[in-house]
Structure 1
Amino acid sequence: MVKQNGQVKALSCMFYVATSRAAEMVHVIWTETLVEIFTEDGEHIISYPRPTRTGMYYGPRTPEGTLMKTAGKNLSAGITDTAVRVISKGGYIGVLANKFYALPTM
């Protein structure tokens, strides 16, 4: 759903759609190189390059993307890599700007 400020979140990034589309449901499709945003009826709204890392903002003045203030510099889900993490006391690990539950082995 498009937020009141005209943004939609996908791939741990924010993409600007339009404030006129606030509260509208959209369909986000991505490939290895492109992110496309469509209406529920299939009308193409806008396209952006596929992010190479998470925590980016894509808008009309920054189609190449800018790093969000609160973002980490993790690789995006589209990149294959490995990372060593310590499981927290709550059973979670943080990877790709997301929190995952890791079941403890017995």
Structure 2
Amino acid sequence: MSNSILKDSKRITLEDTPREILLIREQLEDLKVIIMDIKQNFTPKEPEELMSREQVAEMFKVDPSTVHNWAIQGRIIKYGIENTVRYKRSEINQSLKPIKQTLRLKK
């Protein structure tokens, strides 16, 4: 039985083993750092929530025809498959704009 193994087309002898073990340990430590970084910074992507015209209307307390008109006017984007129309909740929320408050002076 031989005292060597084949690694990347090179023979490694038993004398090389401590050096190879150190190399492997260093690589494992590097992987450990990468995994810890992923664990700390990873945030799973939430699936996009789709809403029906009725759900959007209910959200704003308006008639579904108003939601339809907003889409025609380009205020919100609608998506559809065949006869099914949906709206992305994130885009509906982004379509909200702040209203500037104006002071009314009494006459």
Q: Calculate the TM-score normalised by the size of structure 2.
A: 0.18
| Greater per-residue strand proportion | 1
Query: So what's the TM-score if we normalise by structure 1?
Result: 0.18
